Structure 1
């Protein structure tokens, strides 16, 4: 099956199906994380993000269920954040070296990279990771047992309104985050923009059969923005570690080049992200999702009529 809502089927059943599939895949990756934490934790967190985006999309249809389950999977993701972040920071050093080959050719990033690799190995090899994985597995298994409690409106008009409202809220979050990132440029502002962009990209996948316009190009642009915002986030995290009082990344001499390259990278990434986000989220969220609501109502109603007209319907 796919991460896409089929308008020919009742909304409740489709959301239950997709949620069960995503959490089931997260459990598979959690099981693999004992032996291959670098890849498996990243894949697991992606499945959890998919599940949470789905819950945000249909939240207005069953507020209590969606809020509770979203909080559950947010806590699961938090259990796994440290080990995953450790890997991402090593990858960030490698990206800096590739982006600025002349400056880093003399090995000016080597000491920091060694420190981050040691930190990564410590987090991946400790008993804490096994405990986190065990707790995450238990939480996901409990989550799967609760899926049948979800109850959404299945009538075409009400179902369309639920989907349009979820999409609109995320677009509004993205627009608000873009305005703040443009005016203030803080790490939290760009992080909020990243979360909203990622969620919107997942909503495009979920609503692929209902979105009122071709989405292939938009989805590609949203994915690229999400990746660039992710790189910027990792730069912010490294900057925070660099400025920490206990200097976990090394002495000023060891981190001089890193500090210089992080500033250059941050400036470039911010500019790229703001331009791309302005293209994607410059329109009114209400206007965009009004079209979605109309098309969804028409498509869902047509599917319902086809079912009623079918033999045995």
Structure 2
């Protein structure tokens, strides 16, 4: 079923448990499946992020949300090494486009070797990841939301929207690595929560969700490029090659932020009360 709170769900509480169960089952199946590692790791990480977005949505009305989110965060960390090596390779491949073939091959070589080495550790990481998620599913069986309907959703939506606007202001004031990373995390939280509410009015929600998705992707690439710049200095590459690659990464990062900041200002222009007033009416109309 879709990652969304559906009209067929008997309650928000039932929707919460259905979505949590479905995402855990998908992640465990990917962990214990076969085939190419990279898409499986991507599927597992995506499922964990969806669950954490769901957990943050209901956090104000679920006493166990903080501990549940901590368990999910720890499960996700088990995959971080597998993910990071693949992402760094993809980032260096993007900035190497158009370079002299020999210099490009030399630049990419240490990142390719790093990704290959981490792929070999998957056999030890994935079983523990699957077991951790299954324990979360077992523990979540007794969780119950303290409120239902829109009252269960509005506090979490408001908290995330406010946190996202605050992080955006901090990033605009000082667009350093940590500030952009924090803003991206909050944008992603809102994106997942908006996806959960897509059925309240799909035609109106789709553009909003698409804008949040695009912003999160821009900020994600900017963050990857910043991390790549740090990693370049940790390699044995020739200094001139490190300098060229670093300049390319920084130029691309500036281009991305020049697009991301205007999009963010438009998307998160309103106070939370304005957004919630609309979505509250759409929720009630759907129920009617």
What does 1:189-228 correspond to in 2, within 5 Å?
Answer: 189-210=179-200, 214-228=204-218
- Residue 22 of structure 1 deviates from its aligned partner by 0.5
Answer whether contact 2:31 2:40 (CA < 8 A) is retained.
Answer: yes
| Counterpart in the other structure of 2:120 | 125
Q: 2:141 aligns with which of 140, 143, 148?
A: 148
Alpha-carbon distance in 2 for matches of 1:54, 1:22: 10
For residues 260-280 of structure 1, what are the alpha-carbon distances to aligned partners after superposition, in whole Å with 9 as ceiling and x for unaligned? 201211211111111111111
TM-score (norm 2): 0.93
179-188 vs 104-113, which deviates more?
A: 104-113
Matching residue of 1:72: 71
Is the 8 Å Cα contact of residues 6 and 199 (structure 2) preserved in structure 1?
A: yes
Partner of 1:20: 21
Does 1:280 pair with 2:273?
Answer: no
TM superposition shift of 1:77? 0.7
Q: Mark the CA change 1:249 to 1:266 in structure 2 (over 3 Å): closer, same or farther.
A: farther
Is 1:178 matched with 2:165? no
Q: 1:292 aligns with which of 279, 282, 288?
A: 279
Q: Distance in 2 between matches of 1:193 and 1:262?
A: 20
Q: Say which SS state the counterpart of residue 6 (structure 1) adopts.
A: coil
Equivalent residue runs for 1:1-313 within 5 Å? 1-8=1-8, 9-32=10-33, 35-63=35-63, 65-98=64-97, 101=98, 104-126=99-121, 129-153=122-146, 155=148, 159-210=149-200, 214-243=204-233, 247-248=234-235, 250-297=237-284, 299-300=286-287, 302=288
C-alpha RMSD of matched pairs (Å):
1.9
Contact 2:61 2:147 in 1 (8 A): no
In structure 2, what is the Cα distance between the partners aligned to 1:124 and 1:187?
Answer: 27
Distance 1:212 1:220, change over 3 A: closer
Give how far 1:42 is off. 1.1
The structural deviation recorded for 1:295 is 3.8
Quote how far apart the aligned CAs of 1:212 are. Answer: 9.7
Q: Normalising to structure 1: TM-score of the pair?
A: 0.86
Distance, in Å, in 2 between the alignment partners of 1:184 and 1:112 is 30
Relative contact order, higher structure (CA 8 A, sep 6+): 1
Gaps of 5+ in 1: 303-313
Shift in Å at residue 230 of structure 1?
1.3
Give the length in aligned residue pairs. 287
Unaligned runs of 5+ in 2: none
1:183-238 superposed Cα distances (whole Å, 9 cap, x missing partner): 10011111111111112111111111236981111111111111111111110111
- How far apart are the structure 2 equivalents of 1:194 and 1:68? 23
Query: What is the rounded CA distance, in whole Å, between the counterparts of 1:52 and 1:112 in structure 2?
Result: 36
Per-residue CA distance 1:43-65 (angstroms, 9 max, x = gap): 100011001101111111112x2
Secondary structure in structure 1 of the residue aligned to 2:169: helix
> 1:106 offset after TM fit, Å?
4.6
SS at match of 2:3: coil
Shift of 1:287: 2.2
